[in-house]
Amino acid sequence: MPLIELRRVYKSYRFGQAVIEALRGIDLQVELGEFVAICGPSGSGKSTLCNLIGMLDRPTSGDVLFQGRNLNEVSDGERSEIRNQTLGFVFQSFNLIPVLSALENVMLPLQIQGAPTRQTKEKAIQQMTRLGLGEHLRRRPEKLSGGQQQRVAVARALINNPSLVLADEPTANLDSGTAVMIIDLMRDLNQQTGAAFIFSTHDQRLLERVSRRILLQDGTIVEDSGV
């Protein structure tokens, strides 16, 4: 059974009188352990696709299945439970909370779930040390470089041992050397944890580093190296 499956997925947005068809008939399966890049020009539907896979939005028609469960048949509450427990997110703009330390940011997803603070802290410190952030635990995000902030965000995404990590343009705000570093880090974590990673990117150079590339154009998949 695939980890995530999309069947004839359409997504349109209403924009005033106009209807924008952002995704037009997406069929896709991603297995546990895959490392997948979604690429394509601006407006091709990458973020829309990431939001559907990440259960942040619902399709206009078609089905999204997670571990064989059709998300159309799952309530909003249950959907956010699945999201909190099995998905990790990394964002383009890092999305760290400025008033919290790096460590507190990493702890947050588990604390929201009500996990005990001491274990959560231990786990977060362990994860951050593994990502080379051991000396920056107490720093506020603004005192960290872009690459360090994104590593904090990666640590946060992994703290709940997700089976899928989703990253919409995680390297868009990083210089090219740091971008390569972040992708290589995600690749290592993909191999160590066995979680699936799906990220979107504009950057051609990053595509050499992935095992599967999905090319979107005008809301359809025009190329998928994994099929």
Ligand X SMILES: Nc1ncnc2c1ncn2[C@@H]1O[C@H](COP(=O)(O)OP(=O)(O)OP(=O)(O)O)[C@@H](O)[C@H]1O
Binding residues for ligand X restricted to 39-58, rule: CB under 6 A: 40, 42-48
Give the separation between CA 120 and CA 193, rounded to whole angstroms: 18
Select from 44, 47, 148, 201 the one that contacts Mg ion (CB under 5 A).
Answer: 47
Q: Among the candidate windows 15-23, 122-130, 142-150, 173-181, which touches ligand X by CB under 6 A?
A: 15-23
Cα-based distances in Å from 80 to 56, 74, 125: 8, 10, 26
The one of Mg ion, ligand X, none whose footprint includes residue 45, by CB under 5 to 8 A per kind, is: ligand X
Q: Which of 87, 57, 48 is nearest to 196 (CA)?
A: 87
Q: Does 214 bind ligand X (CB under 6 A)?
A: no
Identify which of residues 13 and 119 has a Cβ nearer to ligand X in the complex: 13
Select from 1, 8, 19, 20 the one that contacts ligand X (CB under 6 A).
Answer: 20
> How buried is residue 224: exposed, middle or buried, by Cβ count under 10 Å (0-12/13-18/19+)?
middle
Cα-based distances in Å from 207 to 10, 140, 179, 194: 26, 32, 12, 20
The one of ligand X, Mg ion, none whose footprint includes residue 42, by CB under 5 to 8 A per kind, is: ligand X
Q: Which residues bind ligand X (CB under 6 A)?
A: 13, 15, 20, 22, 40, 42-48
